[in-house]
Amino acid sequence: MSMFVSAMTTAAVMMGITLGFVTYAIYAERKVLGWMQLRIGPNRVGPWGLLQTVADVLKLLLKEDIVPHKADRTMFLLAPIVAFVPSFTVIAALPFSEHLLLADITIGLLYVLAVSSISTLGIVLGGWASNNKYALLGGMRAAAQMISYEVPLLLSVVPVVMLAGSLRLGDIVQEQAGGFWHWYIVPQFFAFGVFLIASVAELNRTPFDLPEAESELVAGYHVEYSGFRFAFFMLAEYMYVFAMAAMTTVLFLGGWHAPHPALDVVPGVVWFVLKFVGVVFFLFWIRATLPRLRVDQLMGFAWTVLLPIALLDIVVTAIVQSIIR
Amino acid sequence: MAIRTEQLLLNVGPQHPSTHGVFRIVVTIDGETIVNATPVMGYLHRGTEKLAEQLTYTQIIPYTDRMDYVSAMTNNYVLCHTVEKLMQLEVPERAEFLRLIVMELQRIASHLVWWGTYLLDIGAMSPFLYAFRDRERIIHLFNELCGARLTYFYMRIGGVKWDAPEGWLDRVRAFVPTMRAQMAQYDALVSGNEIFLARMKGIGTYDAQTAIAYGLSGANLRCTGVPYDVRTHHPYSLYDRFSFRVPIAHSGDCYARYCVRIAEIHESLNILEQALDVVPDGPIMGKVPRVVRPPEGEVTASIESPRGEIGCTIVSKGKDRPYRLKFRRPSFVNLQILPKLLIGESMTNLVTILGAIDIVVGEVDG
């Protein structure tokens, strides 16, 4: 019983942390984008606009829940949940430090990647069930894009697994101990590149934000959603920003390890958060810089550039590893 | 077994982020490929030309402000210029200089709006805000000059309404190098970007013959290698006094149109630089009767607006109001090629192609 209570408590704490992250990730994104674009960003609600996102979410919760008359009602109501729930379950398997992780799954890596791909279904479902042409186009784009980029994303983590010899995320981090030259970004730079690009595509963020391309599809798959159902989609999107940034940190940037053994006095969580924030900032930064790709270019890029690089990387890693042994 | 597919009729606009106003286009798509496209216009039609028949010549000028609201100065000019041509009025030198300076500033401002919104269409967010910052500098200059930011009502038949305030010309002079530096930054940010080039090169291509057959003008014509610019071919105002290049490109695609417009900003800066050094002192209004009453006759004049050749035809019966007034609105003419360009393209390219034409719906609908 006490086990159950403590598990529930940790889960609740974790949920609080992630929700807090999402709230302030949105705030940070708006601030960073604002500064990059010669604007101020939110600064009205609360000191320095810190309560802006809270106010936005409250507003969304209070809004009328509109279901279009011609929509497929069941599917329409289900879609945001399908998109949202996996995004939370992913968080459970992420190791933030040696001791701070909720579920130490032996196949943690596989779990994270598998569960996160369920959200695609929610997006396609939402696009289809809305019975709106723009939403349908957005949903179809999302399906094509996310399935295409799942392949290089999965392949790019294979070399890491080969080096670490484990699918447990904690083990992968432990293998990278002892300074930044041990981090997998050094031997696996190409895998890192493929992973980062593919994860940006998985997140539907600029330059791969085609499913919700504002200038073409108005809002894409969530065009008919309003109120808290829309908030669910948004929340899921930012949860995945959280998850993908954490995964990048774990797989390639040494997780909670300090860049130099001399700096080990600083708690691991601090290093984790620093690297994690760096990755998140990078995502914001490219959003402010790059234009959007076209659908055919996007597909071509996944299949003709990322996939061969990922495959080649696996082969080279395998050869080098067997020679060294 | 073959999968049954269906074509989809999709209404793009009149409320759509990329139609630059209330323009509507009905497309039939097969997957994401456009099989048919029908532009629908007229949502912003205000009947400027008909209204003008009830108005005195000076009263028409503010209506031209609202036609191409991104480039009101050139619109002001084309009307005043046509009436002056009909009346054979002399415009004082200083007034003509001021007109030329504001028109070139307006061209830069207009191209900046295009640049920003076009990149927004393509999916880059930041350039829009950068472009509007620099446009703001120009608008601020206009505000100092005539007290308005968008609809200036600055020019009058026979001159301009306001003389340049103290130090205004110096501020314009200071603006030129600032703008040049900004342009270098924008080139670094956008013009070499791989994604950007991949989005624009080879999209919406047509050749010179097609462009001429469709009556295209401005950057839409010059992108095919035809160096036609009213400023050099039929010089008006004082353009024959300054040396400037007419930028052209040869590939006839969206990228060519982009390059032409960027180069035009540089040329406008060159013209400004030359003009600012030789602005004479003197009156700003010519000897114009209190009531403008052109002689009986018909006259046509055209000038180079940022969007192309804007023309004005006036039929006068010797009254203080025109008997008939007609504008050749370049946005409207340039738009006619759109359905032809869209067939076979994807939804994404629809936005790219429409944006590259550079329409202002106020001008399309008149």
Which of A33, A38, A287 lies at the smallest CB-CB distance from B130?
A: A38
Write the class of the CATH domain B42-320.
mainly alpha
B227 within 8 A of B248, measured Cβ to Cβ: yes
Does B130 sit within 8 Å of A295, measured CB to CB? no
The maximal CA–CA distance of chain B, rounded, in angstroms, is: 83
Q: Does the pLDDT at position A322 exceed 80?
A: yes
Cα(B285)–Cα(B90) distance, integer angstroms: 9
Q: Are strands B308-316 and B297-305 parallel, antiparallel or unpaired?
A: antiparallel
Per DSSP, the residues of A194-258 read HHHHHHHHHTT-TTS-GGG-HHHHTTGGGTT--HHHHHHHHHHHHHHHHHHHHHHHHHHS-TT--
> Is the CB of A294 less than 8 angstroms away from the CB of B351?
no
A155-172 mean pLDDT: 84
Find out whether A218 and A146 touch, Cβ atoms under 8 Å.
no
Q: Across chain B, how many H-helices and E-strands are there?
A: 15, 8
d(CA B74, CA B77): 5
Q: Which residues of A258-296 are buried (b: 16+ CB within 10 A; e: fewer)?
A: beeeeeeeeebeebbbebbeebbeebbeebbbbbbbbbe
Q: Identify the pLDDT of residue A128.
A: 85
> Two tokens at A179?
């300074």
Distance of residue A143 Cα from the nearest chain B Cα, in angstroms:
14
Contact A209 B123 (CB under 8 A): yes
Secondary structure of residue B24 in the 3-state scheme: strand
What pLDDT shows up at residue A40? Answer: 87
Q: Which residues of A touch B350 (CB under 8 A)?
A: 216
DSSP per position, B55-107: S-HHHHHHHHHTTSTT-HHHHHHHHHHHHHHHHTPPPPHHHHHHHHHHHHHHH
- Two tokens, residue A50: 């810190």
Within an 8 Å CB–CB cutoff, is residue A295 touching chain B? yes
| Interchain contact, B125 vs A33, CB within 8 Å | yes
Across the interface, do B133 and A289 touch by the CB < 8 Å criterion?
no
Judge residue B11's burial from the number of C-beta atoms within 10 Å of its C-beta, 0-12 exposed, 13-18 middle, 19 or more buried.
middle
For residue A287, the chain B residues in CB contact (below 8 A) are: 125
Average pLDDT of chain A, as a whole number: 82
The verdict on a CB contact (< 8 Å) between A291 and B195 is yes
Unique residue bearing structure tokens 């996996």: A86
B122, B137, B349, best to mutate vs chain A, most A CBs in 10 Å: B122
Q: Residues A193, A273: contact at Cβ < 8 Å? A: no
| Chain B residues close to A215, C-beta within 8 Å | 17-18, 120-123, 351
* b/e burial code for range B294-328 (CB count within 10 A of at least 16 → b): beeeebebbbbbbbbbbbbbbbbeeeebbeebebb
Residues B134, B112 contacting (CB under 8 angstroms): yes
Asked whether the beta carbons of residue A215 and residue B125 sit closer than 8 angstroms, the reply is: no
Angle between helical axes of A227-252 and A73-91 (0-180°, round to 10):
30
A323 class by beta-carbon count within 10 Å (0-12 exposed, 13-18 middle, 19+ buried) = exposed
Provide the residue type at A268 as one letter.
Answer: G
Judge: A289–B120 Cβ closer than 8 Å, yes or no. no
Q: What proportion of chain A, given as a percentage, has pLDDT over 90?
A: 0
Single pTM value for the model: 0.88
Chain B, nearest residue to A137 by Cα: B32
User: Is residue A152 reached through a cis peptide bond, with omega within 30 degrees of 0 on the bond before it?
Assistant: no
Q: Residue B155 forms beta bridges with which residues? A: B160
Q: Are A167 and A241 a contacting pair, CB within 8 Å?
A: no
Average of per-residue pLDDT across A192-201? 88
- Output the pLDDT for position B312: 92
Give kind and range of the element (H or E) at residue B270. helix B254-276
Do A209 and A321 form a contact (C-beta atoms < 8 A)? no
Q: Percentage of residues in chain A with pLDDT exceeding 70?
A: 96
B60-78 in b/e form (b: 16+ CB < 10 A) is bbebbbbbbebbbbbbbbb
Question: What pLDDT shows up at residue A214?
Answer: 64
Q: What is the mean pLDDT of each run of 10 residues along chain B (366 residues)?
A: 80 80 87 87 89 91 89 91 90 91 92 90 85 91 90 89 90 92 87 83 88 91 90 88 89 90 91 90 88 90 91 91 91 90 86 88 85
Using an 8 Å CB-CB cutoff, list chain B residues near A33: 125
> Residue A108 pLDDT more than 70?
yes
CB contact A300 to B (< 8 Å): no
**Inter-chain residue contact B199 with A207, CB threshold 8 Å:** no
B193–A293 CB contact, under 8 Å: no
Contacts of B199 in chain A (CB under 8 A): 291-294, 297
| Chain B residues close to A295, C-beta within 8 Å | 32, 346, 348
pLDDT band at A124 (very low <50, low <70, confident <90, very high): confident
pLDDT for B101 equals 92
Contact yes or no for A216 and B348 at CB 8 A:
yes
Sequence-ordered list of residues with C-beta below 8 angstroms from that of A43, at least 6 positions apart, any chain: A49
Residue A188's pLDDT band (cuts 50, 70, 90): confident
Interface with A, mutate which of B3, B182, B347 (most A CBs under 10 A): B347
Find the largest Cα–Cα distance for chain A: 65
Can you give the pLDDT at residue A83? Answer: 86
* Residue A151, number of CB atoms within 10 A of its CB: 16
Q: What is the CA radius of gyration of chain A?
A: 20
Return the pLDDT at A84: 85
Where do the domains of chain B lie? 42-320
B interface residues, A as partner, C-beta within 8 Å: 8, 10, 16-18, 32, 119-126, 129-130, 133, 189, 193, 195-196, 198-199, 346-351
CA angle (B322, B326, B331) in 5-degree steps: 150
Residue A256 has pLDDT above 90, yes or no: no
CA-to-CA separations, A30 to A27, A131, A214, A226, B104, in angstroms, rounded: 5, 31, 17, 21, 36
Best of A216, A218, A284, A293 to mutate (most B CBs within 10 Å, chain B): A216
Mean per-residue pLDDT for A130-140? 83
Comparing alpha-carbon positions, the chain B residue that sits nearest to A32 is B126
What is the predicted pLDDT for the residue at A113? Answer: 85
ipTM over 0.85: no
Comparing CB atoms, the residue among B126, B129, B348 nearest residue A294 is B348
Q: Say whether pLDDT at A215 is over 70.
A: no
Q: Which of B10, B129, B196 sits opposite A291 (nearest CB)?
A: B196
Judging contacts by C-beta atoms under 8 Å, the chain A residues touching residue B126 are 36-37, 288-289
Q: CA B342 to CA A71: how far, in whole Å?
A: 31
* Nearest by CB: A216 against B125, B129, B351: B351
